[in-house]
Amino acid sequence: MSAKDIKKGDEKKENFFISRIKSSVIVRGLMKVASKIYHATFSSVAAKVLSEEDKVGDGLPGSAMEQASDSPKSRERARNFKNAFSRRMEQSKILVAVSSVGNKMMRASISSYGVFLFTIGLYFMIIHAVKLLALRMTGIGNDALVIGVGAIGVGLICFASSRSLYDAISTSAIIGKVFFSLLGVRRPNDEDYGGEAQRYVAVPFIIGTILGAASAVVRPTYIALGLLLAALVIMVLKSPEAGLVGTFLVLPFAKTMHLVALIILIFVSFLIKFMCGRRTIRFALIDVFVLLFAAMTMSGGLFAVGSGALKRSLVYVCFMGGYFLVKMALGSQKFSRRAMYALSIACAVVSLIGIVEYFIGSPSAIWQDRALFSDIRGRVVSTFQNPNVLGEYLVLTIPVCAALVAAEDNFRRRFFFFISALLGISCLVLTWSRGAWLGLIFAAALTLLFVSRKWLVGAVLAIPVGAVGLAFAGGKVMTRLLSVTNFSDSSTAYRINIWKSTLDMLKDTFFFGIGTGAGAFESVFPFYALPGLTKVEHSHSLYLQITVETGIFSLIVFLMIVFLFIKRALSFERHAISGKNRYIAAGLFCGILAFLLQGFTDFVFYNYRVALMFWMTLGLIMAHISASRDSAEEHVKTQ
């Protein structure tokens, strides 16, 4: 029997097995119930409004601004300006010099880089020895020794290669996977950097000597980081899209101000390319409300009570810019998919760190009622400082990983996304964050209902599996979940008292708020706080916090953003043809919806990195929907 016959036989068995399941009494009964729920849901007025075809999602047709910008004179002026700007950039002496240096670096042999590494490493070690032995300096650390030995070792290995840097990069499997396949950096080609490798000795030796000698006054760690930073800046300037994909990858591990600098760099890169006519900008209705919300957030920082509000509002506004960058720069299916791959990798790593923390490390018990939950070892925080914040990150990312399992064709990738989702769910359980659990459960149920009746039935059939998982967890998860209604729980009682106090505060600050940031809230809250409340930094509710900081009009604007997002996502789910596109959109939609639902019980924008993750994910679903609507599978089938 041939392999084809065996394969056909396996397919027949699989089809027979699936057909038997579909024809079972239980599944047929569930399908009837799901059909009734599905019909009742989409026959409601609210569902019809939200899921009707979105005609203004991709732009603002008919507006005065668009009509003015689409006039022949406006288009000609814009084209002339871009052409003039592009010529000046291309003819700039600085740009020409940088391009020339870049070409020489790509054509330089690996042995030339070996000379540089050997020289700088040798100087690091010599200067370290002089400081330690001759000058008898203390507290200088061993970073010079470690980096120096490493640089010399790598330099000696490089001496054996006569290939050019271009040849090494273009044929490298690791660099190819990370830089070209994942980040989307454009591959170098023979036309630009081909030819025989050029071997240099004097130039790399001089540069290595200068930088190595600089370690006398600058720590070698800073010199090494400076070189890596220069490489990062060059990469982002060449490809802002790669910078955004990388942001999804490093976001849970980077510091806030580093992310601010990265977003600003990506913005500058994108703006330059737009001015040169290599990128386009198109506004949608939701973008107008995001801009309005950013303006109100900025005004909240300018006119806030207390200190530190301006800095916080500037960071918030910068991170809201991440929404526009992702939406406009990742507007192709390839780049939006790369961003999701990076997101799933980060989710897997963050989750694995949290799981290891729980079983091997020391999970924190600061955020739990030890009297009620003494059987819980603690709550994991992973790369974040708070278990609830970790939960907020995970509810944004887990549904995306799950959606990629359904949408991906490659078995290895699908298996990785499955493992990533499984790790994420396991880590989410170990945060013991009830708000995150409830947000994800309700969001998943609503998403499955909107996507397909079959998926809803599948979720119902998966309940026994979930029950087994709860039993395996020893009942701790269910006990923790049901404790939401237990007002003797110190955490629940604490939140309720804060909400009551914040509502009293809103009686005096309803229209314009007190300003952005914890400083403003901490300054005013004590005048309204109920007895027993000490230091409180926020209201533990996204919607209360927005209102108390920048007023009711700001909340209305934010709710308009939520409304337009839901309308665009559900409209796409109802009218899209490709199942893969719908599954991915559903995953992004579920994550954002779960995040917004968790916002009822916590101020989910408190952590800067999570706030950036929200705005970038919101931009990602907009980019995915726009790219999918322009794709061949959606366009051709509707002809």
Residue 596 — pLDDT band, cuts 50, 70, 90? very high
| Whether the predicted pLDDT of 53 surpasses 70 | no
- The larger pLDDT score, comparing residue 11 to residue 500, is at 500
Q: Name the DSSP class of 599.
A: T
Q: Does pLDDT of 95 surpass 90?
A: no
Best CA proximity match to 379, nearest among 352, 344, 399, 354:
354
CA torsion angle 379 382 384 385 (round to 10): 40
Burial class (CB in 10 A: 0-12, 13-18, 19+), 168: middle
CA 35 → CA 19, 49, 162, 241, 595, distances in Å?
A: 19, 20, 67, 42, 28
pLDDT of residue 119: 95
More confident residue, 375 or 400: 400
Measure CA 17 to chain center: 40
What is the pLDDT averaged over residues 148-152?
A: 93
Q: Please check the confidence at residue 16 and state whether its pLDDT lies above 50.
A: no
Residues 6 or more apart in contact with residue 341 via CB below 8 angstroms: 182, 404, 413
Mean pLDDT, range 116-142, rounded to an integer: 86
- Give the tokens for residue 403: 């959606």
Cα–Cα nearest to 400, from 447, 456, 463: 447
Residues of the chain with pLDDT > 90, as a percent, come to 42
Where helices occur in 23-172 by DSSP H, the ranges are 25-42, 45-51, 64-69, 72-91, 93-107, 110-129, 143-158, 165-171
Per-residue pLDDT at 467: 56
Which residues share a beta bridge with 164? Answer: 109
Q: pLDDT tens for residues 284-320?
A: 899 999 999 999 999 988 887 766 788 899 999 999 9
Two tokens at 411?
A: 């078995």
What's the pLDDT tens digit per position in 267-285? 999 998 888 778 888 888 9
Q: What is the mean pLDDT of residues 447-456?
A: 68
Is the separation of the CB atoms in 170 and 187 below 8 Å? Answer: yes
- Please tell me what DSSP assigns to residue 638: G
398 close to 346: Cβ distance less than 8 angstroms: no
The token pair that represents 472 in the structure block? 């395996």
Q: Residue 595: what pLDDT?
A: 96
Q: Residues 45, 327, 57, 36: what is their CA dihedral angle, to the nearest 10 degrees?
A: -30
For 7, half-sphere exposure in the C-beta direction (CA atoms, 13 angstrom radius) is: 3
- Per-residue pLDDT reduced to its tens digit, 160-199: 888 888 888 877 878 878 888 888 888 777 666 666 788 8
Q: Higher model confidence: residue 317 or residue 455?
A: 317
Which residues does 629 contact at the CB level (< 8 Å), separation at least 6? 58, 572, 576, 635
Per-residue model confidence as pLDDT tens digits over 553-562: 999 999 999 9
Q: CA 360, CA 430: separation in Å to the nearest integer?
A: 13
- How far is it, in rounded angstroms, from Cα 424 to Cα 310? 35
Confidence of residue 65 (pLDDT cuts 50, 70, 90): very low
Confidence check: pLDDT of 64 > 60: no
Helix (H, G, I), strand (E, B) or coil at 364: strand
Q: What's the pLDDT at 371?
A: 56
What is the 3-state composition of the chain as percent helix, strand, coil, each rounded to the nearest 5?
75, 0, 25
Q: What is the pLDDT of residue 13?
A: 43
Q: Mean pLDDT for the chain?
A: 82
Q: Which of 389-398, 586-595, 626-635 has the lowest mean pLDDT?
A: 626-635
- pLDDT at res. 170: 78
638: its two tokens: 């509707």
Per cent of the chain over pLDDT 70 is 74
Residue 409 pLDDT exceeds 70: yes
CB atoms within 10 A of CB 199: 14
pLDDT at 461 over 60: no
The per-residue pLDDT for range 607-617, each reduced to its tens digit, is: 999 999 999 99
- Dihedral sign for Cα atoms in the order 371, 372, 375, 378: negative
**pLDDT at 5 exceeding the cut of 90:** no
Predicted local distance difference test score (pLDDT) of residue 253: 96
Higher per-residue pLDDT: 67 or 260: 260
Q: Tell me the average pLDDT across 242-265.
A: 95
> Over 90: is that where the pLDDT of 156 sits?
yes
Give me the DSSP letters along 353-414. HHHHHHHTS--B-TTS-TTT-TTS--B--TTSSSHHHHHHHHHHHHHHHHHHHHH---HHHH
Distance CA 329, CA 245 (A): 10
Least confidently predicted of 200-204, 271-275, 369-373, 487-491:
369-373
Task: Report the phi/psi class of residue 396: left, alpha or beta, with left for phi > 0 and alpha for psi in -120 to 50.
Answer: alpha
The owner of tokens 């910008």 is 69
Give start and end residues of each alpha helix (H) in 534-578.
Answer: 542-550, 552-575
pLDDT for residue 14 is more than 90 = no
With contact defined as beta carbons under 8 Å apart, do 383 and 503 qualify? Answer: no
Non-local (6+) Cβ contacts of 530 within 8 A are 497, 500, 501
Using a 10 angstrom Cβ sphere, with 0-12 exposed, 13-18 middle and 19 or more buried, the burial of residue 155 is buried
- Evaluate whether 598 touches 435 at the Cβ level (below 8 Å): yes
Are the beta carbons of 110 and 168 closer than 8 angstroms? Answer: yes
Q: CB 588: neighbour CB atoms within 10 A?
A: 26
How many Cβ atoms are within 10 Å of 266's Cβ, its own excluded? Answer: 25
